[in-house]
Structure 1
Amino acid sequence: MRTLSRGLVVVLLALALAQPAQAVECGASEGKALTGGCLFTITGGDTAEPADGFAVTNDSGIPLWDFYKTLDLQKVGYPISQRFDYKGFTVQAFQKVMLQWKPAKRGFDWLNTLDIVASDFGMNLQNVPAHAVLAEDQGATFEIIKQNHLRILDKNPTIKAAFLAEPDWLNLYGLPISYEVLGNGALEALRAQRMVFEIWRVPAPGTTVGAVGRQNIPDKVKKFTNVIIPEAAKQPITAAQASAPAGQLPSAAPAPSGSPSPATPTVTLQPTPTSVPTATANPLVAAFARPSTGVTVRQEGGFWVITSNSTPNHPSPYFPRTDSRYQAYNGTNPQYAQNPNR
């Protein structure tokens, strides 16, 4: 067993949110120093090898370790993956952000993780407001778009104050995307392109009622198979493995649909209509649509939704059981699986 469990790391980071900037360190409690990097065992998980973890290095001419040391630990967290390839770019996941190397500018961008989850994978995450598109963004300049999205913050002054208290909010969080009150008032949440701010109004593990918190979105994404982070990159390694010559970076299986989401804010905040499959092209239609019995398949905001007339007002879309991302649904339509994150 390693000194700190993953759960304790999350608690420590939550406590750190109220503290001044926290420097990234590579001491005995965090991991093991490497030449030009650090192997962070603190987030390696409870594996059989307590000295394994995730390496942040300057390998292959990509100075991620040097850049990581300039950041505030409480804003990025510890690494939760090795480096991997995402659509031709080198990316590494940390607890709160994913950092993407941009060779053209010799620098790093914060990946628009939540945009990608919605547009490329058609997924919602638990306790996260749904992705939304503002009609007034169409044809507008980026400055106008920015103002459109900042107005979303007006729905919750407490979250707005916390969001704008960060001078570099555009880089760290991206644009505000949507705001929802979830769980019959239990949770107030703001979705941005890279971060979710939340206020719990009832007691919840690891939270303080009424306080503004920040969700660890990459941690949530990591729980899904081949969603942005390839399975091979999720595996902890030893110092000897980290010091070995770098091989080809692992990459996740191709996303089922959609086009790449940019790592920096642009005028286009969702896939163009041509990137969304038509109803006639989607295999769900042929496999599951039964209009005569009230089972229909339709497109809704970029999602493919299967519904039945036995639950016409049910808020959750239904997907085939063969989709491993969704749990079995044992209601009136057991042949389908219900999205647990809606």
Structure 2
Amino acid sequence: MKILVTGTAGFIGSHVATKLLDRGDDVIGIDNLNDYYDVNLKKARLARLSERSNYTHVHADLADREAIEEAFSKHKPQRVVNLAAQAGVRYAAKNPHIYVSSNVTGFLHILEGCRHHEVEHLVFASTSSVYGANTAMPFSEHESTEHPLTLYAASKKANEQMAHSYAHLYGIPCTGLRFFTVYGPWGRPDMALFLFTKAMLAGEPIKVFNHGKHKRSFTYVDDIAEGVVRTLDVVPSKSEAWSGDAPDPASSGVAPYHIYNIGNEEPVELLHYIEVLEQCLGRKAKMQMLPMQAGDVPDTEADVSELVEAVGYRPQVSVETGVANFVDWYREYYG
């Protein structure tokens, strides 16, 4: 198939694009290589894709309406994977407008491209952060997500609602995937594993929020990429009519639309995550214990039973294997 993937210079996008290329799909990648973090890392990811004969790159910002319209008109993708976004839950305090520009306006341009070019299926990235103030574990797609705690989460919640409206109005099959704390090789420098590794190798202390007591469904990037590709192949249809007074938050009785969690089902305490990293690096961490940051949630735990039933796959890489793979990549990349 011919598949448009946004955010191909990014962490998850580069892995998804690679997996699609490996199976023989033609990939049109879109990325603007912004400077939210090290542009050289983004260029290095992109260079690996650009070597492939079935990869075509479009340098564009999702917020640039004309550029996105041109990409759809020129390349006519059959399916679309939207992974480009302004990431990070805390950066919004410094630059809130970019979240709306990239994550909301940019997503609108993707939806419009799908609408006017008869795209067969749109898969888009959401986040476990949409669960916000929810405390019932594990997080289920059938729960309400009306109380996000950060602007990033709110922008992703908006994506889910926008996609449903387009699925209903124009019949565009849409699937949203709520990612849970992704880590692994070629990761983002603003994420905990990257920050911890860099500091520990330099002999510097690491900041451990909530005194390391919170738990996360840390999910290895290859598990995420495999789930995205499998989901892309399963086009949703209108679900059976719901019972009761309101529709199921995970699906729709009026539109070809579905939401799935994608994350490791075994949450790991942050202190254990650090212990695994210490073993892989062969050195102890100097930990600066701090209270929980504003906008953080104490724990996350993914219920992925819906994903397993739909696509026959569940994340399975342990943190011991995943962290070791990241450390191997980090040492090789940074020498």
Greater relative CO (CA pairs within 8 A, separation 6+): 2
Q: TM over 0.5: same fold? A: no
State the TM bucket, normalised to the shorter chain. Answer: under 0.3
Q: TM-score, normalised by structure 2?
A: 0.27
